[in-house]
Amino acid sequence: MTTQATDAAHAAARRRRVWRRRLEPVLYIAPAFLVLAAIIAFPVFSAIGTSFLDASLLRPGQDSFTGIDNYVELIADPTFRSAFGRTFVWAGAALVVQVGLALAIATTLNKKLFARGAVRTTLIIPWVVPTVLVALIWRFLLDPVSGPINDLLQPVLANPPIWLADTRWALPILVLISAWKWTPFSAVIILAGLQQIPRELYEAAMMDGANAFRRFTNVTVPAIRTSLALVTLTTISGAINNFNGIWMFTRGGPNGATEILTTYAYRTAFVQFDFGKASAISVMIFLMMLVLAVLYFYAVEGRTPKKRGRA
């Protein structure tokens, strides 16, 4: 009996140590997690609650519950449907341009080049420039009267377009400006992934007779899958959440040609003072971000083979 009691006591002590080891990291991060949860959760739940109300600054204290009416009105609103579709066009164009350029730049910088360090330092400059300064610089460059871009195009085009006031050119120009600012960030992430690829993999592929394209598709791309997934997520989420990059250039114009969900939500809240409908738009943006996050974790973690324990 004494031996059994001792064994039971040792087993209970082991279980306590195991639980202590498991709970200790949780206790360390619990304060930060609670603060972060409060900061994030309150605005989210507040927006969700307001999206079911008829809330307006023009009628303070007279909010009334309307159910899903705000969502129904938005779906029936052609302006919202246009902004919704344009958001996907904007995000898709940003993804193709930025990731494509970032992959090309990172692949080039991963090779042995003259003054590679100076080139990498120069590359990162657009990313660290504040968005307000980016807007000032590019509005000057694209100015139809005094801008140097139209001056350079004058010999080729008799009447260069007014870039940011032309419904055909405004959105493509903003995509290129966004790529100019954010491509360096994506390139740095991809470059970090490229530098982790063992040289032996390329040598083995060359011994198997793989050409440059085969080495890129069979060695490079699978090895940087996590980096590409991260870049894809940050590019799409950044484009969907982009407000300053459009508002400081065109305010959603001309004639709604650059209106996306974020600018439409701002206009609905602070021009029309309809906080209920603006909150509904914000909830839709939040759901889109949530779907992207789930897809990212599936792409990065969901396909990672799990180690099986021995039988």
What is residue 305's predicted lDDT score, i.e. its pLDDT?
47
What count of Cα atoms within 13 Å lies in the side-chain half-sphere of residue 244?
Answer: 9
What is residue 302's predicted lDDT score, i.e. its pLDDT?
60
Question: What is the spatial distance between Cα 308 and Cα 287, in angstroms, rounded to a whole number?
Answer: 35
What is residue 311's predicted lDDT score, i.e. its pLDDT?
36
Question: What is the spatial distance between Cα 123 and Cα 114, in angstroms, rounded to a whole number?
Answer: 15
Task: Inform me whether the pLDDT recorded for 77 exceeds 90.
Answer: yes
171 pLDDT band (50/70/90 cuts)? Answer: very high
Q: What is the mean pLDDT of residues 215-232?
A: 88
pLDDT digits (tens, 9 = 90+) for 107-160: 888 887 777 777 777 888 888 888 889 999 999 999 888 889 988 888 887 788
For the whole model, what pTM was predicted? 0.83
Asked if 119 and 109 count as a contact pair (C-beta separation under 8 A), the reply is: yes
- Tokens (6 digits) for 286: 């939040």
What is residue 88's predicted lDDT score, i.e. its pLDDT?
93
pLDDT digits (tens, 9 = 90+) for 40-50: 888 888 899 99
